[in-house]
Structure 1
Amino acid sequence: MTSATPTLPPFSASKYIKEIGRGVNGARALPREDAQVLFDAMLAGRVSDIELGAVLMAYRIKGEAPHELAGMLEAAHGHCAPLAAPPDKPVVVIPSYNGARKQPNLVPLLALLLAREGVPTLVHGSREFDGRVTSMQLFEALGVPLCATPQAAQDQLRAVANPLAVLPIDVLSPALSRLLDKRPIIGLRNSSHTIVKMLQPVGSHTPAEALRLYSYTHPEYRETLTDYFSHEPANVLLARGTEGEVVADARRSSRIDWLHDGHQRTMVDPASGSIGEVPELPPGTDVGQTAAWIRKVLDGDVPVPAPIATQVATIQDCLKQATRVAWASPV
C-alpha cells in the first residue's frame, strides 16, 4: 500500500481580492510581501478556481505595481526548477512567449549566433501560442532538441561548443505553465505572462549569474520597466523587440539600454527609422521557410541583419564589462 501524496491546505484570497478588485479607481496595490504570498499560493494550486479567476481579472484591470511584480517574481523563482550556473560564465537568458504573427520569429537566430560565439544561452518559452510560430517550433525545425529535463539544460549550458539550452516552460516551471494556460479559459492574459518574461532562473537568481533580455512594444512601457529595473537587483538589456519577442527587428535599428547595479546606460542609440539595406525576410507564419532562412544566415549565404548583429555585439560587450567589474571587485 502506497501513501497518498499530501495536499497543501486551501488558501483564502478574499482579503486580497478586496484590495485589488475594487476597479480602476478604487483598487489598491498589495504590499510586496502580500503579493508574494498570494502569487505563491496561486502557483501552488491552493487558490480556488473562483478566487483565482477573480485575482487574475482584478490584476488585468488594475495592473501590477512595480513592487507587486517584485513580490510575484520572487514567488515565481521558488517554483522554478533549479538550474546550476556555469562555473565561469554568466548565462544570457532569453524569454520567448509571443511567437510570430507577421514578421519572422528570429529568436532562434539570435540564440544560435550567441552560442556559436561560446556564450552560454538559455531560451525558455511556450511550445505553442495562439497559432503563432513559436521559438520552440523553430528550434525543432532547425534540429535543435528541446531540453526534456532541467539537468539536460544544465549540461547544455556547460557545453564547450554551442552552449545553448532550449527549455519549454512546462519543464522549467510547471506551476507557471498552468497559470499561462488559463488564458484560453479567461480569454485574456494574466500576471503570469508578465512574470514569466522577467525570470532569472539560473543559480541563485542573482544579477551576476545571468544577463536577461527584455523587450517592450510601447515607448511609455520602457519608462515603467526602466524604473522597475533601476530599483531591483538587475542585469538586463532592454530594447524594443519584434512583436513582443526580445530579438531586434531586422528591418530597423533600435535603442538598447543596459540596466545594472541601479544604473542605466544606453549602449545603442541609433537614428530613428529603417536601416540602409532592409533584408528580404521570409513570411513570419511559415515554420519551414523561416528555419531555412535562418540556416542560410548561419551558413553565411545570407548576411546577418545589421540590427541583430548589433544586438549580438552589444550582449558580448555587456558580458565582458560585467566580467571585468567582477574581477576588479574586492573579495
Structure 2
Amino acid sequence: MFDLLKEVGRGKKGAKNLTYEQACNAAERILTGKATSAQIGAFFMAERIKMESPEEILAFVEALRVHSIRYLLYGGIDCAGPYDGRRHSWIATLPTAFVLTACGLPVTLHGSPALPPKRGIALIDVLKEMGLSVRRCSREALQAGADQSGFLFVPADSWCAPLRAIRPLREELGFRTLLNTAEKLIRFSDAPYMAIGVFHKTAFDKMTEILTHIGVHSGIIVQGTEGSEDLPVDRRSRAAILRKGRCETMIFDPDSYGLKKRMPNIEWTAKRQAQTISEVLQGSGEPAYRNMVLLNSAVRLWTAGRAESPEEGLERACHTLDRGLALHQYQWWRETVLAMDEKSR
C-alpha cells in the first residue's frame, strides 16, 4: 500500500489519480483485509481530498462485485439510493418499486443500516417498520420474493462480505468515502437498467462514464432529493439519460405533467416513512407523495423501455396505483418473503 498511498497522499495539488490497475490493487488489498486500518483510513482520506476518479471508483465496484452474491432478474431496473439514508425527504423509491413491478418491470433495491456522514433513515429501517427485518431474512426468502413478485431487496452488507467487514472502520472515520459511491453500483441483480442519484451536477459526467463501463444498457442519473434517485415534485430537477453509451441532459418539470405539489414540512422518522408509503399504496396518501410516486414510476418505465414516453409511463402508473395493483404487489412480496423465511428456519 505504501507506493499507492504516495501517489494519492501528496495533498490536493500534488496528488495523482491511480491508474485502473493501481486502483484494482488498492481495492483488493483494502477489501480482503491485507491493508491495515491505518492504511485504509489514510487512503480514504487522501481520496476524499483529491476527489476520486471514475477509474478508481470503477476498480472498487468491480472488486466489490467479485466478492458479492448476485441473483439475476432478467430485464430489470436497479434503483440505487444513498446508503447513508434520508433525513429531510420521503423515500418514494420504495412504493415506486411496487408500481413498476405491477407494470411488469422487475426492480432491485438495496441498502444497509445508515452510514456516515448523514446517518439518516435507511430503507432497511423503513422495511422493519413495515414488518420485515430484511437483514434477518434468509437469502432464499428474499430470492423467492423476487421470483414471485419481481421485487428484490438486497441487504448489501449481508450479500457482500467486504462491506460487512469494513463497516466498523467506516463508522469510526465518520466521513464520506469512495465506497459510498461504489457500493451503490454493485448491481446485485445484473440489471440492464439503472436509476441512480447524485448530489451535484458536476458528478453527472463521472457517473455516466462509470455506468457505461459496468454494463448498464440504459439509465437515468438524477440530481434528486438528498442525492437520491427520486425526482421531486416541488421543483424542477436535472437528470442525465444514458442510452447505449450516449448521454443526454434533461430537465424534468413536474408542472408539465400536472404533478407539481408543495411537499409538506415533516420531521421524518422510519415509522412516519412507513406509514406514508402504506397510505400511498392504499390510495389515501397526501397528493404530493402520490404524485412523487407517479412521476418517478413514469420516468423509470420510460428509461427501461416499458413506455414510449414519460407521458405514457404516467398513464400506466396512474392506472396501476389507482386500481390497487401496486398494493397487491407489495402484499404478495411481503407474504412470500415471510412465509419462505419461516419455512427455511
In structure 1, the residue matched to 2:56 is 68
Change (3 A) 1:189 1:290: same
Aligned counterparts, 1:174-189, within 5 A = 174-189=161-176
Change (3 A) 1:96 1:116: farther
String of CA shifts for 1:63-100, please: whole Å, max 9, x gaps: 211112222211111111132x13x5334343441322
1:243 aligns with 2:226: yes
Post-superposition offset of 1:137: 1.1
Post-superposition offset of 1:307: 4.1
Post-superposition offset of 1:282: 6.8
CA contact 1:36–1:72 (8 Å) conserved in 2 = yes
In structure 2, the residue matched to 1:59 is 47
1:100 aligns with 2:86: yes
In structure 2, the residue matched to 1:214 is 196
The RMSD of aligned alpha carbons is 2.8
String of CA shifts for 1:166-204, please: whole Å, max 9, x gaps: 2212212121233344233123121211111222122xx
Post-superposition offset of 1:29: 1.2
Aligned residue type for 1:154: Q
Between the aligned partners of 1:107 and 1:281, the Cα distance in structure 2 is: 18
Moved more, 143-152 or 37-46: 143-152
Unpaired stretches in structure 2, ≥5 consecutive residues: 308-345
Between the aligned partners of 1:179 and 1:296, the Cα distance in structure 2 is: 37
Give percent identity, aligned residues only.
23
Between the aligned partners of 1:293 and 1:53, the Cα distance in structure 2 is: 39
Aligned counterparts, 1:196-215, within 5 A = 196-202=183-189, 205=190, 209-215=191-197
CA contact 1:132–1:285 (8 Å) conserved in 2 = no
CA contact 2:62–2:186 (8 Å) conserved in 1 = no
Q: 1:311 aligns with which of 292, 296, 300?
A: 296
Q: 2:207 aligns with which of 200, 204, 225?
A: 225
CA contact 2:98–2:151 (8 Å) conserved in 1 = yes
Change (3 A) 1:157 1:35: same
Between the aligned partners of 2:253 and 2:76, the Cα distance in structure 1 is: 31
For CA contacts below 8 A with separation 6 or more, give which structure has more relative contact order: 2
Q: TM-score normalized by structure 2? A: 0.77
Q: Secondary structure at the match of 2:305?
A: helix
Aligned counterparts, 1:134-283, within 5 A = 134-146=122-134, 148-159=137-148, 162-202=149-189, 205=190, 209-230=191-212, 233-235=215-217, 236-266=219-249, 269-271=251-253, 277-278=260-261, 280-281=263-264, 283=266
Q: Secondary structure at the match of 1:81?
A: coil
Q: Secondary structure at the match of 2:294?
A: helix
User: Which structure has more helix as a fraction of its residues?
Assistant: 2
Between the aligned partners of 1:183 and 1:273, the Cα distance in structure 2 is: 41
CA contact 1:17–1:54 (8 Å) conserved in 2 = yes
Q: TM-score normalized by structure 1? A: 0.80
Between the aligned partners of 1:64 and 1:218, the Cα distance in structure 2 is: 14
String of CA shifts for 1:197-254, please: whole Å, max 9, x gaps: 222122xx4xxx4322211122222233234445663332111211122222242343
Between the aligned partners of 2:103 and 2:306, the Cα distance in structure 1 is: 16
Unpaired stretches in structure 1, ≥5 consecutive residues: 1-12, 323-331
Between the aligned partners of 1:232 and 1:104, the Cα distance in structure 2 is: 29
CA contact 2:11–2:50 (8 Å) conserved in 1 = yes
Aligned residue type for 1:122: T
Post-superposition offset of 1:104: 2.4
Report the count of equivalent residues.
301
Change (3 A) 1:297 1:248: same
1:49 aligns with 2:37: yes
Between the aligned partners of 1:273 and 1:183, the Cα distance in structure 2 is: 41
